Amino acid sequence: MLEDSEVVVKIEDVPACGDIFVSVEMSRSKWVVGIQVSLADKIALHAMACGDVDALLTLIDRARAKLAAAELGAPAVVICYEAGYEGFWLYRRLTALGIRVVVIDPASLLVDRRAKRAKTDRIDARGMVRALMAWARGERQVLSEVRVPTVEQDDVRRGLRERQRLVKERTAHGNRIKGLLKTQGIMDFDPRARDAVTRLDALVTGDGRPLGPCLKREITRELERLALVIRQIAQVEAERDAIVRDRSQQTDTAAEPAQDASMIVTLNRLKGIGMNDATILAREAFWREFRNRREIGGWSGLAPAPWASGSVSRDQGITKAGPPLLRAHMIQMSWRWLFWQPDSELARWHRRRTEGATGRMRRIMVVALARKLLIALWRYATTGMVPRGAIVT
C-alpha cells in the first residue's frame, strides 16, 4: 500500500537517453519485465518467476553485453516498478548493486480514460518503460517518484501500525460481545471490565432467563481474545514510550530513530497532542523533507481539488492523495485541538468561520483546520515555531 511522498531527484542522477530502461510489473505469481535499449526499435517483454532477482540481473547483463559489443560504452541502467504490497526490498537490493531504481507512485501514471480499456501486465510494463524514458528526458510530470524510507525508518513504524490494527481488533471484539448480548436483551455489559468473565454468571436475559451454555462459552472465548488484544496493545505502547524515554542512549547507528524520538517529545509538549498523536506525525509524515507548506498540504490529501472548465466551476472536496491513516487522525486531532487549545489562533479562526453554522458546516471547516494544523505542527517540529496562542507544557 502506498504511503510515501515524492522526492526531488538531481539531474545528474538521471540517466541520459540511449541507456537501458527496465520496468518490472509485479503480481503474486510472476513478474513481467519490459526492457528498452538503444539498439532495439521496440520494448522487449520477458516473464519470470515472482521474486527472481537473479533472472532480472541476467537479463540486464545480456542487454549490457549487446551495447558493449556495439562499442556504445558502459551503459547506465535505470529500473522502475510501482510501489505497493511488495515494499522496498527490491529497491534496496538493486541499489546496493549500483543500479538506479525509481519507485513509482501508481496514481501518477497516465491511463486511457475511455470507459473500456485494455489492461494487462504486458501493457502496463510497456507503459512504465515509456513513462520512465520520458521522465529521464526531463518530463517530470509523467510520473512521481516515491521517497523510499531507510531500513531504520521503516522498522520504527511497525509498532505504530501494529497498534492501529490491534485497536481495530479490540473494537471488533467488544462490538461482537455487545451485539450477542443485545440479542438477549442485555444492554449494560462492559466487555473491557476486569471482572467481565465472572459477571457472565450473573447475567439475566431480558425475558428472565440465564444465558444459554453455548452462548456463554462463545462470549467467554471472545472475552479471552479481547483480553489478549488489550495486553498486546499495552505492550506495543510500552515499547513506543520506551524508545522515546531512552532516546539519549541511542547509538550512532540509530541516529534516525533517535531524531524521530526527539521530534515526538517536542510535539508531545503541546497541550492536546498525545504520545500517539506525536508518534504518528513524526513517523508517518515529518520524516519526509517538505520544502514548503503547499507541498505538505498537497501530500496529505487535505488540499482542495477544484474542477473548472469554461464557465463551469465547482469544488470536489479534498484530493485524498495522502495516506488515509494520517488524514483521518488529523481530523480527530483537530477536534481535540479545539477543546484543549481554545485560545490558539487556529481555534479562533475556526470559531469565526463557523459561528452560527450548522453541524455539517462545522465538519467541513474542521477538515480545513486539519490542513492548517498539520502545517503549523510541521513548522513547530522542524523549526521550533510554536503555533500562535498555543499552550506548551
Instruction: Report yes or no: 75 and 20 within 8 Å, Cβ to Cβ.
Output: yes
Sheet holding 77-82, edge to edge: 44-49, 30-36, 20-26, 77-82, 100-104
Q: What is the pLDDT of residues 9-59, one digit of tens each?
A: 343 444 444 589 999 999 988 999 999 987 778 999 999 999 999 999 999
pTM, two decimals, is 0.80
Instruction: Report yes or no: 377 and 329 within 8 Å, Cβ to Cβ.
Output: no
Query: What is the residue-wise DSSP string for 355-375?
Result: TT--HHHHHHHHHHHHHHHHH
Q: What pLDDT score was predicted for residue 246? A: 66
Report d(CA 34, CA 22) in Å as an integer: 6
CA 36 to chain centroid, in Å, comes to 32
Instruction: Provide the residue type at 190 as one letter.
Output: D
| 3-state SS record for 140-195 | HHHCCEECCCCHHHHHHCHHHHHHHHHHHHHHHHHHHHHHHHHCCCCCCCCCCCCC
Query: Average pLDDT of each block of 10 consecutive residues along the chain (393 residues)?
Result: 42 52 93 89 93 94 86 82 92 94 91 83 94 91 90 88 95 96 93 92 92 94 97 94 65 56 90 92 90 91 88 86 89 96 96 87 92 96 94 91
Q: Which of 162, 376, 391 is nearest to 279 (CA)?
A: 162
CA 283 to chain centroid, in Å, comes to 10
Kindly report the CATH number that applies to the domain delimited by 11-148.
3.30.420
Q: Which residue has the cell 488515509?
A: 324
Q: What pLDDT score was predicted for residue 153? A: 87
Q: What pLDDT score was predicted for residue 12? A: 40
In the chain, where the domains are located: 11-148, 154-245, 257-306+316-383
Q: What pLDDT score was predicted for residue 314? A: 85
Q: What pLDDT score was predicted for residue 306? A: 85
Report d(CA 249, CA 350) in Å as an integer: 42
